[in-house]
Structure 1
Amino acid sequence: MLRHDLPASLVVFLVAVPLSLGISVASGAPLAAGLVAAVVGGIVAGALGGSVVQVSGPAAGLSLVVAELVQVYGWRATCMITLMAGVLQLLLGMFRVARAALAVSPAVVHGMLAGVGIVIALAQLHIVLGGQPQRSALENLIELPEQIINNHAHGVAAGVLTILVLLVWTRLPKLKVVPAPLAALVIASLTAVALGWDITKVDLTGGFGSTAGPLWPKGDWHAIVGAVVLVAVLAGVESLLTCVAADRMHDGPRADLDRELTAQGAANLISGTLGGLPISGVVVRTTTNVRAGARSRWSAVLHGMWVLLATLAFASIIGLIPLEALAALLLFIGVKMVNLGNAKDLSGHGEMPIYFVTMGAVVVIGLAEGIVIGLGLAAIIALRRLTWVSVEVQQHAGRWRIAVTGSLTFLGVPRLSEALRTIPTGAPVDLDLHVDFMDHAAFETLHAWRLEHERTGGTVDIDELHDDWYSAAASGTRVYPAKSPPQLDRWYLPWAYRRGAADPVSEDLLTGTREYHRRTAPLVQPLLTRLARKQTPSHLFITCADSRIVPSLITASGPGDLFTVRNIGNLVPRYGSAPLDDSVAAAVEYGVKVLGVRTITVCGHSGCGAMVALLGEAPELPSVQRWLRHGRQSLARFVAESPGEQIGPLDRLCRTNVLQQLDNLRTYPMVEGLERAGELELTAMYFDFETARVHVLSEEEPLSPVPELRTG
């Protein structure tokens, strides 16, 4: 293990020293406090933690909290708050509540870190320009123009040089062995010494001896308790989220979150006692550790020991670092914390407003207030989703159908009432309740409407797909006290995915039939009863016999929609062709003349075995070989066409074959006549198994996606 962990620890050490110093500057704490936290975080949290690769230390995300605590209570009282936060984390870890921290919305966490990043960047920009940061982000923004006009040239030069090195260093592959933060500070320091710049240098006089022990904070005890909880929760959540992220980066043992929270508590207790900053798991150092090849917790422990030795032995060298360079490093880190990639990831889940509202509130109002506002917005959005309800009203063949889906609570009563008012008096109604919860207000509204509708001559047939919320309430039976999960079967899964390992394959068909009788038949029976006398499909659907093609699945169709023909290769023999085969011709004739379909669709698919055979790999199956003679026109067309896309010959033939079948259909006089008259439409579709996407084929557009459904 050490042959991997030793070099990894050195890489993390080189990253940790400049970051720890910079975070001390941003926090308004003694510079040595960041190094103390790095040592304790590496050795204590690394040895005791629940993750084998996570690296802990001072975190930029906590610097805003610490800076405010230092201003209000002083540094030594802040150390006591850190100590007490560690005790609280220890207790939470002992009671095994770590996973509860994962209930915090990631949108709030990312938004908080982005807001902290902006505040850090604005504050450190003033130090780079030779001034002093103001008390708030808005004040820093207002003072910025004057600060730019009256800047100190040497300090600005050191800061700009640091940022340039940080930007360029990662783009030079051969130099990536040396971490960019270390390279930037070394180059800025050497340049400042060589050119004799007038800069502010890091003061590490006394090394670890410059730190002081904790003192009890003076002030309102409510505020002190709040500060302890805030530090403990923020540091704990950041550590646990980093722990979860670290598990995705390596293949070693999975993290024990309760053990990790306990270790963070012990580390913060010791760090506060020794005069160090609050500690949490840090994404940057953890990622660096994994990428450097760490295999065990020894890498984190050794990195802490290297920080300890470097501070004891090289404090004077560290003292050459320009303070403006450290501020520039923090400015760079602050900007990087505003990760718009996280916002983009959240947009697909509708959580982007939480991210930006939290970020804005942290910048404008404050950290604690911003977190509370973000959590409140997240709770409101979650409540809205949990109480979402859809009410659809349809009318067909004299019957009305109302489909209610979701959680039917008092919040959905206005929408439900509006839909119920559209039902004419005396009409027959099918009411489908696909609800996982129904409260009393919703039941009262629905029940009162039903009684009134039936009193005026109407009928209401109620079908409950999930739990019997309505019938239980109507009969006076005890209603379930909590929301129940929908019992949705993954009916589209193959038998092999649903049966037990010991179940025989021979039983699949009977087992599936029994499952249909138990779950599906009661739901579709009213519909099939109405369809029993006559079928009126709108489409003739010709597709391959391939077992992976499920027409009703890829078209979201139901009983009575598709008149389906399946054969090997989705072939349509030309009119009067030999060998004679009336199967497809009979289906076309019956579908067009008797059923009156308005559309004939030929649907092919990727990797078709029939097309493989046409390309020269025909199996020794006489009947199959005779049938595939109907594909000769497809093969001839394929050979005559020049490939216009960078696709393989098999996929090109599969698509060409579908288009050829439309031409084969047009050889039937009745089809040609109806198409010319505009009474029949021929379409070509293509299903790609790998992407599970359906495409529309045409002569002009060989492969185009099905247009998205537009709503509104």
Structure 2
Amino acid sequence: MLRHDLPASLVVFLVAVPLSLGISVASGAPLAAGLVAAVVGGIVAGALGGSVVQVSGPAAGLSLVVAELVQVYGWRATCMITLMAGVLQLLLGMFRVARAALAVSPAVVHGMLAGVGIVIALAQLHIVLGGQPQRSALENLLELPEQIINNHAHGVAAGVLTIVVLLVWTRLPKLKVVPAPLAALVIASLTAVALGWDITKVDLTGGFGSAAGPLWPKGDWHAIVGAVVLVAVLAGVESLLTCVAADRMHDGPRADLDRELTAQGAANLISGTLGGLPISGVVVRTTTNVRAGARSRWSAVLHGMWVLLATLAFASIIGLIPLEALAALLLFIGVKMVNLGNAKDLSGHGEMPIYFVTMGAVVVIGLAEGIVIGLGLAAIIALRRLTWVSVEVQQHAGRWRIAVTGSLTFLGVPRLSEALRTIPTGAPVDLDLHVDFMDHAAFETLHAWRLEHERTGGTVDIDELHDDWYSAAANGTRVYPAKSPPQLDRWYLPWAYRRGAADPVSEDLLTGTREYHRRTAPLVQPLLTRLARKQTPSHLFITCADSRIVPSLITASGPGDLFTVRNIGNLVPRYGSAPLDDSVAAAVEYAVKVLGVRTITVCGHSGCGAMVALLGEAPELPSVQRWLRHGRQSLARFVAESPGEEIGPLDRLCRTNVLQQLDNLRTYPMVEGLERAGELELTAMYFDIGTARVHALSEEEPLSPVPELRTG
């Protein structure tokens, strides 16, 4: 294991040192405080944490909170707040509430980090340009033109050089072995020494001794408690979200979130005691760790040890780093924190406003206020979705249909009442309720209208397609206490079972399409968006064109699962057979060579009309008769076999035909070669329409049911 973790720990160490120093600068803390947090985060959180690959340390996302605390209470009091935040995290971890942190909208978290990134970038830009950051992001922005015009000192050159190296380094593949932050600081430092630039250098002469211990903060205890909770929650949420993201990056053991939160609490308690910055799981270091090949928690622990040794042994060398170069590094990190890719991912779920509102509020108002505003907006949007209701009214041949979909609460009563007023007095009405919740106000509105409509000669037929919310309330029985899982509106039923008797058949397709757009498209759109660029089906599914066979229904498959070929009789022409027909061969060739399917399934069914024709009842259809020549082998096999089973000749031929098509597939050299090599599997299925059962076919067992999934 160490042969993977040791080199990975060195890579993370090279990334952690410059970032820890930079975050100390942004936080207004002693430079050694960031290194203390890196050591403690690596050793303590790494050894005790719930994730085997997560790397913890000082995080840029917490720097604004720390900077404000340092200004209000001073550095040593901030250390005490960090210590108490660690105690709170320990308690939360022991009470196993870590999963609750995942209820925070990722849009708020990403928006908060983006806002913090902008604030950091604007503040550090002033240091790069040789000036001093102002008290707020807006003031920094207003003062920026003057800084650009008036400051052209050596420190500016060091900062600009650092940014140039950071931008160029990642574009040079052969140099990626050395992390870009380390390379940028080394080059800027060596250039400053060689050219004798007048710069401000990092002061680590006191080593870890310069990181003073905690003192009790003075001030309003309400504000102090609020600060402790803010640090604990922000650090905890960022750690747990990073933990969840880390699980997607590796194939090792899954993370224990409660253990991770407890470990973060222990690390913050120790870091605050030793005079270090607050600690959380860090995405940049964790991603670097996984990409470097880490397999266990030893990588994080070793990286902390390397930081400790480097600080003790090479403090004088670290002291050569220009502060302007560290500011440039933080500027670069701040810009990278504004990840528009996250905003794009959120757009498909309608959460982009949360992202930008949170980001803007953090920049303009403040971190805590921005988070509260973001959470409030997320709650409003969630409430709106939970109470969404659709009321549609249609009229065909004098009969009216009202379809109510969603959550029918008092918020939807105005829309419902408006729709009900459009129904003429005395008209027959079909009321379809596809609601997952109905409150008392909505029930009273609906029930009063129904009674009045029936009193004036109308009829109301109510069909509840979901739960019986209306009938339960009307009968005075207990209404379900919570919303039940949503279901689609009987999508599996044929059109004839869903339309009114007088509805024209010609409108079925358009009506079905409108139904799809209204109900199904919003549900499948996020999935299809991900599948739009490429298909990766696992099966080639060859079945009959019979309208009663619905492949996705009988296999419970979804978009992207099955590459489907349908023809009369689910036939596969033999390789090179006459009459020539390349349609099936082209599909097999494309599925195997381009899509890389691992299974080809031929699925037949009971009562197949093509098999009826092969038994001697062929219709006078020339094209059909030519196509059915590809079924001669099936007929010959059927004649050669003894009946053996108490089934009719038609069903026996339908099953024999499926097995014969597997033999026909094996006449294709590419199929035969892949099957022999174990890279392709051929399977046979048979669907009994009358019983709605799917069976597996084989030479040994001509008909065996597909095993059912059992629970309990």
What is the aligned partner in structure 1 of residue 190 from structure 2? 190
What is the aligned partner in structure 2 of residue 328 from structure 1? 328
Deviation at 1:550, TM superposition (A): 3.4
Rounded to whole Å, the distance in 2 between the matches of 1:450 and 1:501 is: 23
Contact preservation (8 Å) 2:397, 2:503: no
Rounded to whole Å, the distance in 1 between the matches of 2:250 and 2:181 is: 24
What is the aligned partner in structure 2 of residue 485 from structure 1? 485
Contact preservation (8 Å) 2:546, 2:568: yes
Stretch of structure 1 that moved more, 530-539 or 59-68: 530-539
SS across alignment from 1:576: coil
- CA deviations on 1:487-538 (whole Å, 9 max, x unpaired) are 5599769999999999999999999999999999999999999999999999
- CA deviations on 1:616-669 (whole Å, 9 max, x unpaired) are 999999999842579999999999999999999999999999999999999999
With over 3 angstroms needed to count, the CA separation of the structure-2 counterparts of 1:534 and 1:214, relative to structure 1, is closer
- CA deviations on 1:243-281 (whole Å, 9 max, x unpaired) are 000011111100000000000000000000000000000
With over 3 angstroms needed to count, the CA separation of the structure-2 counterparts of 1:429 and 1:539, relative to structure 1, is farther
Rounded to whole Å, the distance in 2 between the matches of 1:522 and 1:147 is: 50
Rounded to whole Å, the distance in 2 between the matches of 1:250 and 1:536 is: 22
Deviation at 1:342, TM superposition (A): 0.2
What is the aligned partner in structure 2 of residue 456 from structure 1? 456
With over 3 angstroms needed to count, the CA separation of the structure-2 counterparts of 1:309 and 1:645, relative to structure 1, is farther
Deviation at 1:177, TM superposition (A): 0.4
RMSD over aligned CA atoms reads 15.6
Rounded to whole Å, the distance in 2 between the matches of 1:511 and 1:655 is: 37
Rounded to whole Å, the distance in 2 between the matches of 1:515 and 1:504 is: 16
With over 3 angstroms needed to count, the CA separation of the structure-2 counterparts of 1:126 and 1:479, relative to structure 1, is same
Deviation at 1:466, TM superposition (A): 2.0
Contact preservation (8 Å) 2:37, 2:279: yes
Deviation at 1:467, TM superposition (A): 1.8
SS across alignment from 2:213: coil
Deviation at 1:398, TM superposition (A): 1.6
Gaps of 5+ in 2: none
- CA deviations on 1:19-45 (whole Å, 9 max, x unpaired) are 000000000000000000000000000
With over 3 angstroms needed to count, the CA separation of the structure-2 counterparts of 1:352 and 1:627, relative to structure 1, is same
- CA deviations on 1:411-459 (whole Å, 9 max, x unpaired) are 0001101110110110000111111110011011101111111111100
SS across alignment from 1:432: strand
With over 3 angstroms needed to count, the CA separation of the structure-2 counterparts of 1:206 and 1:603, relative to structure 1, is same
TM-score relative to the length of structure 2: 0.74
Deviation at 1:206, TM superposition (A): 0.7
SS across alignment from 1:276: coil
- CA deviations on 1:685-704 (whole Å, 9 max, x unpaired) are 99999999999999999999
Stretch of structure 1 that moved more, 346-355 or 510-519: 510-519
Deviation at 1:483, TM superposition (A): 2.1
SS across alignment from 1:43: helix
With over 3 angstroms needed to count, the CA separation of the structure-2 counterparts of 1:300 and 1:674, relative to structure 1, is closer
With over 3 angstroms needed to count, the CA separation of the structure-2 counterparts of 1:537 and 1:367, relative to structure 1, is closer
With over 3 angstroms needed to count, the CA separation of the structure-2 counterparts of 1:637 and 1:430, relative to structure 1, is same
Rounded to whole Å, the distance in 1 between the matches of 2:563 and 2:61 is: 62
Rounded to whole Å, the distance in 1 between the matches of 2:251 and 2:535 is: 57
Deviation at 1:540, TM superposition (A): 27
With over 3 angstroms needed to count, the CA separation of the structure-2 counterparts of 1:450 and 1:332, relative to structure 1, is same
Deviation at 1:80, TM superposition (A): 0.4
Matches within 5 A, 1:480-519: 480-486=480-486
Deviation at 1:236, TM superposition (A): 0.3
With over 3 angstroms needed to count, the CA separation of the structure-2 counterparts of 1:610 and 1:267, relative to structure 1, is farther
Rounded to whole Å, the distance in 2 between the matches of 1:710 and 1:408 is: 35
Deviation at 1:152, TM superposition (A): 3.4
Deviation at 1:155, TM superposition (A): 1.0
SS across alignment from 2:485: coil
Rounded to whole Å, the distance in 1 between the matches of 2:228 and 2:141 is: 30
Deviation at 1:406, TM superposition (A): 0.7
With over 3 angstroms needed to count, the CA separation of the structure-2 counterparts of 1:447 and 1:542, relative to structure 1, is farther
With over 3 angstroms needed to count, the CA separation of the structure-2 counterparts of 1:4 and 1:574, relative to structure 1, is closer
Deviation at 1:479, TM superposition (A): 1.7
Deviation at 1:486, TM superposition (A): 3.0
Rounded to whole Å, the distance in 2 between the matches of 1:385 and 1:484 is: 15
Deviation at 1:464, TM superposition (A): 1.0
Stretch of structure 1 that moved more, 251-260 or 617-626: 617-626
Deviation at 1:711, TM superposition (A): 43
SS across alignment from 1:540: strand
What is the aligned partner in structure 1 of residue 134 from structure 2? 134
SS across alignment from 2:691: coil
SS across alignment from 1:595: coil
Rounded to whole Å, the distance in 1 between the matches of 2:679 and 2:191 is: 83
- CA deviations on 1:366-407 (whole Å, 9 max, x unpaired) are 000000000000000000000111111111122101011110
- CA deviations on 1:82-125 (whole Å, 9 max, x unpaired) are 00000000000000000000000000000000000000000000
Rounded to whole Å, the distance in 2 between the matches of 1:430 and 1:134 is: 67
Deviation at 1:477, TM superposition (A): 1.6
Stretch of structure 1 that moved more, 562-571 or 357-366: 562-571
SS across alignment from 2:594: helix
Stretch of structure 1 that moved more, 604-613 or 312-321: 604-613
- Counting aligned pairs with the same residue, the percent is 99
With over 3 angstroms needed to count, the CA separation of the structure-2 counterparts of 1:563 and 1:435, relative to structure 1, is same
With over 3 angstroms needed to count, the CA separation of the structure-2 counterparts of 1:135 and 1:614, relative to structure 1, is farther
Deviation at 1:150, TM superposition (A): 1.4
Rounded to whole Å, the distance in 2 between the matches of 1:411 and 1:652 is: 60
Rounded to whole Å, the distance in 2 between the matches of 1:25 and 1:115 is: 18
Rounded to whole Å, the distance in 2 between the matches of 1:113 and 1:665 is: 56
Deviation at 1:211, TM superposition (A): 1.2
With over 3 angstroms needed to count, the CA separation of the structure-2 counterparts of 1:400 and 1:276, relative to structure 1, is same
With over 3 angstroms needed to count, the CA separation of the structure-2 counterparts of 1:97 and 1:638, relative to structure 1, is same
SS across alignment from 2:405: strand
Rounded to whole Å, the distance in 2 between the matches of 1:586 and 1:76 is: 74
SS across alignment from 2:426: coil
Contact preservation (8 Å) 2:431, 2:461: yes
Deviation at 1:465, TM superposition (A): 1.6
Rounded to whole Å, the distance in 2 between the matches of 1:626 and 1:69 is: 85
Stretch of structure 1 that moved more, 41-50 or 660-669: 660-669
Rounded to whole Å, the distance in 2 between the matches of 1:586 and 1:312 is: 69
With over 3 angstroms needed to count, the CA separation of the structure-2 counterparts of 1:539 and 1:266, relative to structure 1, is closer
With over 3 angstroms needed to count, the CA separation of the structure-2 counterparts of 1:475 and 1:307, relative to structure 1, is same
With over 3 angstroms needed to count, the CA separation of the structure-2 counterparts of 1:445 and 1:39, relative to structure 1, is same
Rounded to whole Å, the distance in 1 between the matches of 2:188 and 2:533 is: 87
Count of matched residue pairs: 712
SS across alignment from 2:708: coil
With over 3 angstroms needed to count, the CA separation of the structure-2 counterparts of 1:431 and 1:36, relative to structure 1, is same
What is the aligned partner in structure 1 of residue 438 from structure 2? 438
Deviation at 1:175, TM superposition (A): 0.4
Deviation at 1:66, TM superposition (A): 0.3
With over 3 angstroms needed to count, the CA separation of the structure-2 counterparts of 1:148 and 1:410, relative to structure 1, is same
SS across alignment from 2:278: coil
What is the aligned partner in structure 2 of residue 685 from structure 1? 685
Deviation at 1:482, TM superposition (A): 2.2
Deviation at 1:602, TM superposition (A): 22
SS across alignment from 1:63: helix
- CA deviations on 1:157-208 (whole Å, 9 max, x unpaired) are 1111001100111111110000000000000000000001111101111100
Deviation at 1:471, TM superposition (A): 1.2
Rounded to whole Å, the distance in 2 between the matches of 1:320 and 1:490 is: 72
